[in-house]
Amino acid sequence: MGLPTTTRAWSITEIKKDSFDTVVLKDSVPIPKLGEREVLIQIEAVSLNYRDLAIPKGLYPFPINLPVVPGSDSAGIVLATGPKVTKVSKGDRVCTLFNEHHQANPITPEAVKSGLGGAVDGTLREYAVFGEHALVKAPSTLNAIEASTLTCAPLTAWNALYGLQSKALKPGEWVLTQGTGGVSLSGIQFAAAAGATVVATTSSKEKAEELKKLGATHVINYKETSNWGEAARSLTPDGNGFDHILEVGGPGSLEQSLKAIKLEGVITIIGFLAPSDKQPTLMEALNHVCTVRGIFVGSKQQFVEMNLAIDSNNIKPVVDSNIFSFEDVKKAYQYQWDQKHYGKVVVKVAN
């Protein structure tokens, strides 16, 4: 049996703010011929991020080119390689890199414009050709569903904790995470594995117990405790504050993060989930003597390092109990948009 020449693929055709109707499934999309440094993969599973929902609704602040195949996260099996490919082989399970050209830090303008599922065609298709540079071998301890979650959220958490090398997470340090999104859940797992103490916030008593199972020592309900920044700080040794804060809310929660940060601590701004007209000024970084750092996922080099940590610590990504079929991508989008999920929402592509 020969290699496939066409594939089914989802496509975002245009922006529509009130629905996902412009996300459409196309049949018999031609698969390009394999270049000498390219790899043909059969995509097994794709996991979703808030970004995937934001793009068709016109809410995404980074470069996009429509029409585009959505999705950045995936795991797949190598079916064929070009003659100059050396890093992966036929039969290997691989993960896709979020920004194809982000090989190592610092990130470049070229890399920022190479995001799968936004600037270039992504992963919600049955077969795809990628450059060898855009793929990383999956951890050997994870199955396809689990490995499909690594591209964005876990790698972002890893970059937040380890990307600023002079402030890389150390055993005994304190980490604050927010909510139960993918970045925060991975942040708890990585920090706990490193010997850090983790304080997490959530609005749900049920989810609080899940966060403790993942490795959080303390959980604060931010709906019951509006001044959660000071409440979290009070838990740290001598009330000195946190070495690392994973800031996923953005404008709406940064004020509380500043109340919780330690002198010389690092607030890593990851998300924009909590919009607000009122937000702290840049001068607050000076007033609190802290580093406020924006990041954009992570590099291939960091992905390789993270996968080693996943294998050596037997870390299992948190996957939502509802796995969606390839035909039900729009149902998966709506499920995540309605915030019915806990953990990563995954679309199973191949049987």
Tens of pLDDT, residues 298-336: 999 999 999 999 999 999 999 999 999 999 999 999 999
Q: Does 109 share its domain with 165?
A: no
- pLDDT attached to residue 86: 97
In a domain, 32, yes or no: yes
Predicted confidence at residue 272, as pLDDT, reads: 62
Neighbouring-strand partners of residue 1: none
Q: Quickly count: other Cβ atoms within 10 Å of residue 83's Cβ.
A: 8
Is the predicted pLDDT of residue 139 greater than 80, yes or no? yes
Contacts of 234 (CB under 8 A, 6+ apart): none
Are 333 and 260 members of one domain? Answer: no
Q: How many domains does the chain have?
A: 2
Same structural domain, 106 and 196: no
Closest CA to 316 of 121, 186, 192, 123: 186
Q: Which of 160, 148, 151, 220 is nearest to 187 (CA)?
A: 160
Instruction: Give the residue from 272, 294, 316 where a domain finishes.
Output: 294
Calculate the alpha carbon distances from 309 to 43, 139, 217, 312, 318 in Å. 24, 9, 21, 5, 16
Q: Examine the domain organization and report whether 235 and 248 are in the same domain.
A: yes
Do residues 66 and 87 both lie within one domain? yes
How many Cα atoms are found within 13 Å in the side-chain-facing hemisphere of 20?
21
Residues 124 and 80 in one domain: yes
Q: Stretch 93-122: mean pLDDT, rounded?
A: 96
**Cβ 95 vs Cβ 138: under 8 Å:** yes
Answer whether residue 274 shows pLDDT above 60: no
Least confident of 210-224, 254-268, 274-288, 332-346: 274-288
Contact 238, 232 (CB under 8 A): no
Model pLDDT, residue 335: 98
Tell me what pLDDT residue 235 has: 98
Same domain, 289 and 305: no
Amino acid 250: pLDDT: 74
pLDDT band at 277 (very low <50, low <70, confident <90, very high): confident
* 23: its two tokens: 């996300």
pTM of the model: 0.96
Q: Is residue 227 included in any domain, yes or no? A: yes
Confirm whether 314 is domain-assigned.
Answer: yes
Residues 246-263 have a mean pLDDT of 91
127 and 224 inside one domain: no
Residue with structure tokens 């050596």?
A: 312
Q: Are residues 235 and 336 in the same domain?
A: no
- Determine the pLDDT at residue 6: 98
pLDDT of residue 249: 82
* Average predicted confidence (pLDDT) for the chain: 95
Distance CA 321, CA 325 (A): 13
CATH number at residue 287: 3.40.50.720
Pairing type for strands 127-131 and 93-96 reads unpaired
Residue 124 and residue 32 share a domain: yes
pLDDT of 61 reads: 82
For residue 139, the domain's CATH number is 3.90.180.10
What one-letter code names the amino acid at 191? A
The answer as to whether 1 is a domain residue is: no
Residues 20 and 141 in one domain: yes
Give the span between the Cα atoms of 214 and 241, in whole angstroms. Answer: 22
Name every residue whose Cβ is closer than 8 Å to that of residue 282 and which is 6 or more positions away in sequence: 292
Which domain-ending residue is among 250, 271, 294? 294
Q: Both 123 and 259 in a single domain?
A: no
Domain of residue 25, residue span: 6-151+299-348
